[in-house]
């Protein structure tokens, strides 16, 4: 039986009268790259922030690694790496100092800390820029440093919220390949994006969110069956999304609707 890494039951979040997440039920299995697909405002980031305990749920339950997060919060969070959409790096600290800062928060010290910094920077291709200041980095380099800061403590679950926003195609492809490599090394990944091609390229299973709800969940092949009687139909993920939501995801992503 597959181990469940993340389990959400009836998860909901309201900000005053606005419903951000509306009774979401999800399970993410060990070894998956699980995608959350939806337009801006669908509830993806709020869901991730609740899993990371950055936002307190209005109601519902979160289990991480088989334990209620309310009972095992510190232990569970020590096994998670989180890459937020908004850059969580310090412009005035050098690249290696940023990674060291975040790794040290997990109790890593001495030679182990130095090795963690070196390995993380090497993994994202920033070893040669270890002494550089992020304020002088390109958008792609900043995004890669953002990821490095989440890897120093060797997380078992990596949560990435729109990690490729505002970067060039080469940097985007680099990041996607690194995520797939981490997954091959045993890291379970929760990945959110409003870019169809990213979700389709790396995710083994996905959930489509809209207006705070999960409206469909499964592999792409399973989602095709929801919109077509032909199991061999070559329907794109964009067509599936449009059929299920009545919306064009890219238009929403770019703020055109």
- Is the pLDDT at 256 greater than 50, yes or no? no
- Is the pLDDT at 248 greater than 90, yes or no? no
Quick one: average pLDDT of 231-240? Answer: 78
- Is the pLDDT at 77 greater than 70, yes or no? yes
Q: For the chain, what are the domain ranges?
A: 1-79+197-257
Quick one: average pLDDT of 118-142? Answer: 96
Model pTM? 0.91
Contact predicate 153/78, CB 8 Å: yes
Q: Which helix (H) or strand (E) holds 222?
A: helix 220-227
- Is the pLDDT at 56 greater than 50, yes or no? yes
pLDDT of residue 253: 46
Report the chain's mean pLDDT, rounded to a whole number: 91
CATH architecture group of domain 1-79+197-257:
3-Layer(aba) Sandwich (3.40)
Contact predicate 123/180, CB 8 Å: no
Quick one: average pLDDT of 79-93? Answer: 94
- Is the pLDDT at 139 greater than 90, yes or no? yes
Three-state DSSP class for residue 78: coil
Q: Could you tell me the end-to-end alpha-carbon distance of the chain, in angstroms, rounded to an integer?
A: 43
Quick one: average pLDDT of 119-146? Answer: 96
* Strands (DSSP E) found in the chain: 4-15, 18-29, 33-37, 59-64, 67-68, 80-83, 157-161, 188-193, 205-210, 213-218
């Amino acid at each position: 039986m597959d181990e469940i890494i993340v389990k959400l039951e009836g998860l909901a979040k309201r900000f005053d009268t606005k419903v951000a997440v509306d009774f979401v039920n999800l399970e993410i299995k060990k070894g998956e790259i699980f995608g959350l697909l939806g337009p801006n405002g669908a509830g993806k980031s709020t869901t991730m922030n609740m899993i990371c305990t950055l936002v307190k749920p209005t109601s519902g339950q979160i289990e991480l690694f088989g334990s209620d997060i309310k009972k095992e919060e510190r232990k569970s969070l020590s096994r998670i790496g989180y890459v937020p959409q908004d850059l969580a790096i310090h412009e005035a600290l050098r690249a290696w100092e940023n990674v060291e800062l975040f790794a040290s928060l997990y109790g890593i010290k001495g030679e182990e800390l130095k090795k963690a910094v070196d390995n993380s920077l090497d993994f994202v291709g920033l070893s040669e820029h270890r002494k550089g200041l992020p304020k002088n980095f390109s958008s792609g380099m900043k995004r890669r440093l953002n990821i490095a800061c989440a890897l120093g403590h060797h997380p078992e679950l990596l949560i990435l919220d729109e990690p490729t926003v505002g970067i060039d195609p080469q940097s985007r492809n680099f990041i996607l390949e690194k995520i797939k490599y981490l997954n091959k090394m045993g890291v379970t990944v929760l990945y959110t994006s409003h870019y169809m091609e990213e979700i389709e390229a790396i995710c083994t299973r996905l959930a489509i969110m809209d207006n705070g709800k999960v409206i469909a969940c499964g592999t792409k092949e399973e989602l095709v069956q929801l919109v077509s009687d032909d199991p061999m139909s070559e329907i794109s993920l964009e067509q599936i999304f449009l059929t299920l939501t009545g919306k064009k995801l890219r238009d929403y992503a770019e703020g055109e609707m």
